[in-house]
Structure 1
Amino acid sequence: MSPLNPSPATGVLLVIGSCLSLQFGAALADGLFPHLGPWGVTTLRLGLAALFLLAVARPAAWGWSRQAWTGVVLLGASLGAMNGFFFASIERLPLAVAVSFEFIGPLVLAALLSRSARDMLWVGIATAGMVLLGLESALGAESLDPVGIAFALVAGGFWAAYILCSARVGREVPGVGGLAVAMAIGALGTAILGAPGAMQALHHPELAGLILGVALLSSVVPYTLELAALRRLSKPTFSVLLSLEPVFAAAVAWVMLDQTFGWLRALAIALVVAASIGTTRTAVQLSRRRAREALPPAAIRHTDPAAPEDAR
């Protein structure tokens, strides 16, 4: 395959690798919580990842505008809160359940931005999945921690904020310098709650490898793989593949954390995945329709493969 025409199959594998890396990192973090706490782990994870990206990107931050700095600070705040509340949720909830609740944030954001009735339907389907999780908790032997659920939902809200801020920083700051500085800001922000836990790492040198593994698997590796995947896949395909993240979370939790689940939880996760894929497809269709409406009729005839040919 020519380098100028990279293989889509390779792109699919890169996205799958990114999702698995992220979930393996979360599973490894679970082993650090008893020693460092979720906010301590978050501080160390973001701090180490920021050091790596700053060394690679070397951003010329002194030349940024006030608008760029505002976006980067907001991105760092949302990034830190998203990661901190997510780790706090998986301390109390099974990994796949926490990821499923967290997905509500981006789904609601997509529905609000498009204001489409179809997107509201997808949010309703995802909500039905959450109701099933609650029903399973009420009927099953293992109840879901309501505080953990709240943490996951808050993480989802900050995930939505992260999406908006990331788009803004992408417009204001070239390259990955904005993300590198935002990670550093996020690490400093989470240190307000996480510094005492992070300092405990000094008393547990045997955890150094695990901490480094969490930083690499949860931040550096997924970002690198996703960047490579975006060079090989269309954004719609990329987004649909990311929608499968709750499935990867369930698989990793089963393998690494021995977290099993019944058919009701599996159905709930499937509803969230279906809603996420549906939202992505709706956004793609809406974008294409708006692009077509902006074109003059002659241009549409030359770009629409479904347009009938002139009679000869």
Structure 2
Amino acid sequence: MGTSVVVESQRRAGLPAWSVPLVFIAGGVSQYLGAAIGVYLFGTVEPATVAWLRAAAAGIALVLWRRPWRGSWTRRTVLVATGFGVVTLGMNIAFYEAIARIPLGTAVAIEFLGPVAVATLGSRRARDFAAVALVVAGVYLLAGVSSDAQGLGVGFALLAAALWAGYILVGKRVADAGAGLDALAVGMAAAAALLAPILVTSQLVLDASAFADPRTWLLGVGVGVLSSAVPYGLDQVVLRTVGRARFALLLALLPATAAVIGAIALAQRPSAAELVGIALVMTALILSATQRKRSLE
């Protein structure tokens, strides 16, 4: 979820053109396999706790990889990075609460309402209005559920979409400052530390035995590495090869990737209406990304 705003986008010698979609899909598969592991953890650990484990593991992995202490930091840049991390962790909490109740592919598609809204914000072009209409129609089809649990899951997915929009807006400030992945590393680690008293305490109150099980920590590390560290690293390689405009176009592959992972790993078979909804969201992403590509050329 949401990595393009924090990765440096300078063009350098990179991947062969034919391999770029494959590498991007590999990152998406890693991200949603991590999410699938999170779903398995929900049997013993609260979704919010899984999101915290992801942030903590990802923060540690990114800090060790990026070694941000080598850069120059001010109080302001640390505060901005921390705010960025808190928004990111909040987005992940909402996302995990969603996939605890609705299929993975459905949650991912609904979540894209956020970036599409940001991409078309303030636009008066017919193409952008069409993109918004398509994603709203897709979300309507995906939200066509009846049970209270599923309805709450859709609500959390919509909250994740709103937080993703916030992630993009705050992340742009981070990217403009040139901090990129270093800020993400600092932000994730700081957010995990700041929110630990709340999220860890709530898990201890509900079921403290989960933290005594080594599998909780092992799978939590797996979620963090697969859902954050690996996709962010691969996204950096892709961005260096194709730039932001084409990267935005590749994002259209993610809802389908999530649906496939959900079907294979979690036996979540989408209905015909859900497949149409996912297709509409993907079309909206292609429209908004194509417009962005033209504006950058």
- TM-score for both structures, normalised by structure 1: 0.83
Larger of the two Rg values belongs to structure: 1
For 1:170-208, what per-residue CA distance to the aligned partner results, in whole angstroms no more than 9, with x for missing partners?
222445321111111221344354213376443211333
Identity %, equivalent residues? 33
Distance in 1 of aligned mates of 2:260 and 2:148: 21
The farther-off stretch of 66-75 and 244-253 is 66-75
Deviations 1:257-298, CA, capped at 9 Å, x for gaps:
00012221111110001001111111222333xxxxxxxxxx
Q: Quickly say closer, same or farther: Cα 1:71–1:207, change in 2 above 3 A.
A: closer
Residue 191 (structure 2) aligned to one of 157, 181, 186: 186
Give the conservation status (yes or no) of the 8 Å contact 2:95–2:107.
yes
2:156 matches 1:151? yes
**What is the alpha-carbon distance in structure 1 between the residues aligned to residue 89 and residue 128 of structure 2?**
28
Correspondence list, 1:293-304, <5 A: none
Counterpart residue type for residue 121 of structure 2:
L
Cα distance change of structure 1 residues 30 and 111 upon mapping to structure 2, 3 Å threshold:
same
Unpaired stretches in structure 2, ≥5 consecutive residues: 1-11
> What is the aligned counterpart of 2:271 among 253, 258, 262?
262
Tell me, which stretches of 5 or more residues in structure 1 are unaligned? Answer: 289-312
Distance 2:215 2:78 in 1: 38
Deviation at 1:115, TM superposition (A): 4.4
CA distance in 1, matches of 2:14, 2:142: 43
**Residue 172 of structure 1 aligns with which residue?**
177
The 8 Å contact of residues 252 and 286 in structure 2, kept in 1 or not, is answered as yes
Candidates 78, 84, 93, aligned match of 1:75:
84
What is residue 9 of structure 2 aligned with on the other side? Answer: none
How many residue pairs end up in the alignment? Answer: 282
**Aligned counterparts of 1:245 and 1:108: Cα–Cα separation in 2:** 17
Which residue pairs with 1:44 in the alignment?
A: 53
Distance 1:83 1:272 in 2: 20
Contact 1:90–1:98 (8 Å) recurs in 2:
yes
Task: Give yes or no for contact 1:42–1:190 (8 Å, CA) kept in 2.
Answer: no
Partner of 2:8 in structure 1?
A: none
Deviation, 1:134, is: 3.6
* Residue in structure 2 matched with residue 242 of structure 1 by the alignment: 251
Flag the 1:44–1:200 CA change in 2: closer, same or farther, 3 A: farther
Pairing 1:214–2:223 present: yes
Q: Distance in 2 between matches of 1:235 and 1:173?
A: 15
1:242 is displaced (CA, Å) by 1.5
